[in-house]
Amino acid sequence: MRCLAPRPAGSYLSEPQGSSQCAIMEVGPLEGGYLELLNSDADPLCLYHFYDQMDLAGEEEIELYSEPDTDTINCDQFSRLLCDIEGDEETREAYANIAELDQYVFQDSQLEGLSKDIFIEHIGPDEVIGESMEMPAEVGQKSQKRPFPEELPADLKHWKPVPSSSSSLSCLNLPEGPIQFVPTISTLPHGLWQISGAGTEVSSIFIYHGEVPQASQVPPPSGLTVHGLPTSPDRPGSTSPFAPSATDLPSMPEPALTSRANMTEHKTSPTQCQAAGEVSNKLPKWPEPVEQFYRSLQDTYGAEPAGRDGILVEVDLVRARLERSSSKSLERELATPDWAERQLAQGGLAEVLLADKEHRRPRETRVIAVLGKAGQGKSYWAGAVSRAWACGRLPQYDFVFSVPCHCLNRPGDAYGLQDLLFSLGPQPLVAADEVFSHILKRPDRVLLILDAFEELEAQDGFLHSTCGPAPAEPCSLRGLLAGLFQKKLLRGCTLLLTARPRGRLVQSLSKADALFELSGFSMEQAQAYVMRYFESSGMTEHQDRALTLLRDRPLLLSHSHSPTLCRAVCQLSEALLELGEDAKLPSTLTGLYVGLLGRAALNSPPGALAELAKLAWELGRRHQSTLQEDQFPSADVRTWAMAKGLVQHPPGAAESELAFPSFLLQCFLGALWLALSGEIKDKELPQYLALTPRKKRPYDNWLEGVPRFLAGLIFQPRARCLGALVGPSATALADRKQKVLARYLKRLQPGTLRARQLLELLHCAHEAEEAGIWQHVVQELPARLSFLGTRLTPPDAHVLGKALEAAGRDFSLDLRSTGICPSGLGSLVGLSCVTRFRAALSDTVVLWESLRQHGETKLLQAAEEKFTIEPFKAKSLKDVEDLGKLVQTQRTRSSSEDTAGELPAVRDLKKLEFALGPISGPQTFPKLVQILTAFSSLQHLDLDALSENKIGDEGVSQLSATFPQLKSLETLNLSQNNITDLGAYKLAEALPSLAASLLRLSLYNNCICDVGAESLARVLPDMVSLRVMDVQYNKFTAAGAQQLAASLRRCPHVETLAMWTPTIPFSVQEHLQQQDSRISLR
């Protein structure tokens, strides 16, 4: 396959000589291969006619017309053909030939003086230079704009090329990335394909498939006459029969379809150049129905949220990753990164999608998942992406469709892809069949947003369900979604999912190409939201007072990291400030929602709040948050709920569809129903606190906020809690339920609960505000609390701190892999009852630096003294680097005049393990050796790993140099490290430095032969403190074993020498053991 392109934008046309003259194409001899063809003076137009293998020497004239060839296939046929040959070997070979041509040309020494022009009339020298391509200076001076047919006299039908010193053919360097075939060209002759390459700014490239005739087939220079190309009447601005019309190529870039009229032959004004640049950035020309649908879709998504819904405070979008839930399970959960190692995605979702364009492969569906807890603003940001597209900030997409997943839980099997895009959303779209056909031609220009993915039923089976083979074939909605996730339907589109992570992720999310997580508000962002809320309400005089109210309630301040809860706090603060100056916010979440709903319940129809609570609970059991108007028990209840804002129409939803304004409000109403209902048996009530194993729970805790609200509603005083909502008469059942829950909570043993369940128990006890329950929980806390691998949010850190203070005892905390924020870590470390703590090294160093910058000397000193890393296991390069930063911090601290002495974490480290495996181990071990001498109290150095570190002889040599400084080392494990005789020799030379301290030495499963065994035997008598030595599974023979046994007889202090190895005859080993029972053969 040969790659040809139009001639570069240079002046190679002679001045018009008249209408009767013909252009004489001088084709020189084309001998050899690629290089001679590219250096020849042959015009590309001549080569275009080689496809039919005609004898040009016998032809006087050749006329080209725009009528299609009889062998031309239509668009659908060509599309199917491309699908059939996608995995074909010949196709891959054709692409390899193009790459071979590129490499051959630009690495040939004969081309050093040639111009690297690209034969594309829409790219000028400046743009080529901008693409980092080399171009001699003289080329830029001689290159002029190629005249277009509209610029020539009307009677000019022939043209004659002017001989040029530069090559008339060059090679287009196709970069890495997708090459798009344009299958709708009905006028291309057989053997010519037109493609466009992303990133090349190339409007059209022609690939000639077949053999180029040899030089013998080319006629003499004077024997070939080529007519001028007639202008096609339905293709304005194009004289080539190969140029498709706008209707043929609806997705063709604009420069390839734009007429270049009103331009002079040899000069172009700056204004015209600027206009051409603007035209190149415009949307492609589409049929009128497609244009109308595009504009209507922009109007649908372009509306900005009104009022307080439009308050925007940017939150951090963090790149997420998955990890296995356990070593024995294949299920994957969302990993918890350390605070300092979080990878922030700058610019929000719209910018992430814009940057993701460069990582896409051709015809590959891209799945992007955005995860976050309830109330973190996932749906808001999904709407922000739609608005960004409507405003033109996502130019890589022609169409965006946003569909809430609750709309897809419908029965039936008569749905098609057209229904999913146009009919099943909250706002049905009117689109003609031509629009749908246009979308199918360019699926890579489509973004499909599926919001609230957790509301879909049976999500696990999408990757394995069957789907229809063609978009037009009707099937169930489940089959449509399966086709999208299996990348069979709308192949090449982008799927953007928003979901709430709960435990293990379903396969549809775990297989996503990119995962992001919304982290919520920081303290500063929460306070900024409060200021903007009161500014939008016209109550700027209450801004400072509202912030004071929030700061007086640390729990609510910590909960304000959730945008939904931050807004709820603002709503209640607004209502309280309107009443008077002595306003105070409640101290619990339950009190917050009681305050919000209390005023709404005063003027409600009888039993309306209880009926709404029952409806919320039933929807939650079905994993739903939306409902229809006819689901309300009465019109009065519906009218009241809508008037008080307890339910509302979702943005863009149908008139009959309603939803709760927030997930936490639905949780509160569900808990209210559990507290009031007589349908729930007393013995079943404790199970709804979600503190028992999953198999004993009657439901899956989808309404995850219910346990805390239930404890608050049951135990808080009736007058200001449950009674304020439904009246004293309706709370009779709550007294009996209170006794049941109190008995259950006081029987629990917090020390037996998992970390996540323990935190939930602390939250429930705090919400209850019942002294007996709180004291029981905090007094039963174990002295050593480990939250390893359990995410700690700001509310978790606050409640944990209050419980530790109330206990009145000393605690040791393990806060590794919790993702705790620096402020939360500082608040826990500063407690006098916390005597020791472990946290991520990177997070701890960040905390120390922050305290040092803020001048908090006492807290900094406490944080340094309480921090410990004992024992430390390095499992990655990051662990070793973080350990190096800790040592560097100590060295900086020791050299300072203000402080003196070692860091306790470094000074007191006694056990260090290194387990990076055979690839990273040898590369990272030298970095560990550089800091090893800083650990003066190190007693146990374990370099053995299941995957084998393989530090080798070089690593042993480096380690041996540190022995004089490791005065306390008692255990040295060098097993499975690919140590040979050379490493054993280096080790034996350095071991006397450890003679006074080393108790155990292991060289198990290495490659030590007789020479190495002799080196170890020679040094063994000098190791006066050595008690156990293990050299099993090495390569030494009976000779080496006898030397070790002989040396052992001079070492009465050695208790065990394990040296069984398959290279020693068993009879020899038995004989040696009979001579000395300290020799172990196990």
Q: Count the Cβ atoms, other than its own, within 10 Å of residue 81.
A: 13
pLDDT, greater one: 72 or 12: 72
Neighbours of 54 (CB within 10 A): 13
pLDDT at 792: 94
Other CB atoms within a 10 A radius of the CB of residue 110 amount to: 9
Can you tell me the mean pLDDT for 356-381? 81
Q: What's the token pair of residue 543?
A: 């801004």
The pLDDT of residue 127 is above 80: no
The pLDDT of residue 94 is: 57
The pLDDT tens digits for 170-217 are 444 444 445 444 444 444 444 444 444 444 444 444 444 444 444 444
Report the DSSP beta bridge partners of residue 514: 368
Nearest to 716 by CA among 589, 601, 608: 589
Mean pLDDT of 222-244: 38
Least confident window among 381-385, 639-643, 882-886: 381-385
pLDDT for 141:
40
Span 472-515, pLDDT tens digits: 677 888 888 888 888 888 888 999 989 888 766 666 777 788 88
Sequential DSSP letters for 369-431: EEE--TTSSHHHHHHHHHHHHHTTS-TT-SEEEEEEGGGG----S-B-HHHHHHTSSSS----
- CA neighbours within 13 Å on the CB side: how many for 1057? 28
pLDDT of residue 41: 55
Q: What is the mean pLDDT of residues 929-957?
A: 93
- What average pLDDT does the segment 985-994 reach? 95
For 803-858, write each residue's pLDDT tens digit.
Answer: 999 998 999 999 999 999 999 999 999 999 999 999 999 999 999 999 999 899 89
Exposed e or buried b for every residue in 577-588, given b needs 16+ CB within 10 A? beeeeebebbbb
Give CB contacts under 8 A, 24+ apart, made by 510-513. 510/322, 510/332, 511/367, 511/463, 511/485, 512/367, 512/368, 512/369, 513/366, 513/367, 513/368
Q: Residues of the chain with pLDDT > 70: what percent?
A: 68
pLDDT in tens, 509-535: 777 888 888 888 888 889 999 999 998
Q: Is residue 4 a contact partner of residue 37, using CB atoms and an 8 Å limit? A: no
| 772 phi, psi to nearest 5 deg | -65, -45
**Distance of CA 561 to CAs 375, 576, 760, 821, Å?**
10, 22, 18, 11
What's the pLDDT score for residue 61? Answer: 38
* Contacts with 777 (C-beta within 8 Å, 6 or more apart), sequence order: 745, 748, 750, 761, 762, 765, 803
Question: Residue 319 phi/psi, 5° resolution?
Answer: -70, 130
What is the pLDDT confidence band of residue 240, given thresholds at 50, 70 and 90? very low
Residue 68 DSSP one-character state: P
Cβ contact 1011:1037 at 8 Å: no
Q: What pLDDT is attached to residue 463?
A: 61
Strands 1000-1002, 971-973: parallel, antiparallel or unpaired by DSSP?
parallel
Question: Above 80 in pLDDT, residue 366?
Answer: yes
Classify 684 as helix, strand or coil. helix
8 A C-beta contact, residue 833 and residue 811? yes
Find which of 47-56, 267-276, 380-389, 875-884 is predicted with most confidence, using mean pLDDT.
Answer: 875-884
**Res 267: pLDDT:** 38
In the predicted structure, residue 251 carries a pLDDT above the cut 50: no
pLDDT-wise least confident of 141-150, 565-574, 629-638, 704-713: 141-150
d(Cα 784, Cα 1047) in Å, to the nearest integer? 47
pLDDT tens digits along 542-585: 889 999 999 999 999 999 999 999 999 999 999 999 887 678 99
Q: 611-615, 686-690, 935-939: which has the minimum mean pLDDT?
A: 686-690
Structure tokens at 728: 């004293």
Question: Is-contact 894 888, C-beta < 8 A?
Answer: no
Helix (H) or strand (E) holding 97: helix 89-106
Residue type, 279: V
- Nearest-10 Cα torsion for 92, 97, 100, 104: 180
The C-alpha atoms of residue 74 and residue 468 are separated, in whole angstroms, by 24
From residue 1003, give the alpha-carbon distance in Å to each of 325, 367, 641, 978. 34, 49, 75, 10
Does an H or E element contain 3, and which? strand 2-4
pLDDT of 22 over the 50 cut: no
Token representation of residue 231: 């202008």
Residue 692 has pLDDT above 90, yes or no: no
pLDDT of residue 484: 86
CA distances from 248 to 83, 257, 528 (A): 20, 10, 53
pLDDT of residue 502: 72
Q: What is the pLDDT of residue 88?
A: 54
Amino acid letter, residue 385: V
* Band (78; pLDDT cuts 50, 70, 90): low
pLDDT single digits (tens) 1031-1082: 999 999 999 999 999 999 999 999 999 989 999 998 999 999 999 999 998 7
Check whether 86 has a pLDDT greater than 90: no
Q: Which of 794, 692, 675 is nearest to 738 (CA)?
A: 675
HSE value, Cβ hemisphere, 13 Å, CA-based, for 230: 9
Mean pLDDT (the chain) is: 76
Q: Check residue 156 and give its pLDDT.
A: 40
| Most distant CA pair in the chain, distance | 115
Task: Compute the average pLDDT of residues 431-455.
Answer: 89
Q: Which residue has the higher pLDDT, 731 or 959?
A: 959
List b or e across 545-561, with b for residues whose CB sees 16 or more CB atoms inside 10 angstroms. Answer: bbbebbeebbbbbbbbb
CA–CA distance, 960 with 967 (Å, rounded to integer) = 13
- Kindly state the tokens that stand for 536: 């939008």
Whether the per-residue pLDDT at 325 is higher than 60: the answer is yes
Q: Which of 829, 932, 812, 804 is nearest to 872 (CA)?
A: 932
pLDDT for res 781: 95
Q: What is the DSSP letter of 265?
A: S
How far apart are the C-alpha atoms of 889 and 851, rounded to whole Å? Answer: 14
Answer for the pair 333, 791: CB distance below 8 angstroms, yes or no: no
Rounded to whole angstroms, what are the CA distances from 1076 to 101, 706, 1037, 1053, 1062?
A: 74, 70, 18, 13, 20
pLDDT tens by residue, 642-684 = 999 999 887 666 678 888 989 999 999 999 999 988 888 888 8
Residue 203 is predicted with a pLDDT of: 43
| Residues 197 and 174: beta-carbon distance below 8 Å | yes
| Residue 341, Ramachandran bin (φ over 0: left; ψ between -120 and 50: alpha; else beta) | alpha
Please name which of 649, 556, 636, 563 lies closest in space to residue 595, comparing C-alpha atoms.
556
Q: 527, 306 in Cβ contact below 8 A?
A: no
